Each structure stands twice: as C-alpha cells, then as structure tokens.
Amino acid sequence: MRTAARALVEIAQQDFGQSRKKWLLWWEAHRKTERAQWLLEGLSQPLARDPLRVVRGAAPHHGEYFGYHFDLPKREREEARERWQAWWYASGNGGPPDRR
C-alpha cells in the first residue's frame, strides 16, 4: 500500500497518505480536471502535510520562473502559484478547472 500511496502523491501532487476515503473524495472532485491543474494546486500544499517538501518541490518546471519557492510564506507562495497558473492558461495549455 505504501508504494501505491507514494505513486499517487507523485501523480496527483497531493498527499493524503494511505487514506482511501480522502483519495477517493479527491478523485471524485478532480477526475475531470487536467493534470496540470493538479500540479498547480499541489503548490498550495501546507508544509505540515509536506515535511519533506516532496509535493511542492516536484511542481511543474517549464523554463519559467514566477517567484515560487517551497519555503516562502503562504501568501507569497500562493501569489506565485497564481502567476504560474495565469501563465499556463495564457500559453494555451488548457483552461481553468471545471468546478461543478
């Protein structure tokens, strides 16, 4: 089970440990969302959930820098994540997530 949980963290850039219920809830909410959005949302993972900084450290890198660093204060990380996301969509790489 640990191997599967690690694989899910790598793929989804979220970390719900081995909680089947949390993973299923996340999947129901995100299964129609592009993976790029999962990665961008992974940048918002709280440090407490991410002591090894695995999730935020594996965020997408496309040769652009938007001031994001995993140990910035939450507000600054979120502002940088939003800049990254705006660039991603403006570059024609998909649209904002469908949050029905």
Find tokens 């129901």 and name the residue: 28
Residue 6: domain span: 2-90
Residue 81 lies in a domain: yes
Per-residue pLDDT tens, the chain, 100 aa: give them: 678 878 888 788 788 888 889 999 999 999 998 888 887 787 777 654 544 444 455 455 556 778 887 788 889 988 988 888 888 888 877 665 544 3
Residue 44 lies in a domain: yes
How many CA atoms does the CB half-sphere of 42 hold within 13 Å?
25
How many domains does one find in the chain? 1
pLDDT of residue 62: 58
d(CA 47, CA 56): 9
Residue 59 lies in a domain: yes
> In terms of C-beta density within 10 A (0-12 exposed, 13-18 middle, 19 or more buried), how is residue 24 classed?
exposed
Largest CA distance in the chain: 39
Residue 100 lies in a domain: no
pTM of the full structure:
0.58
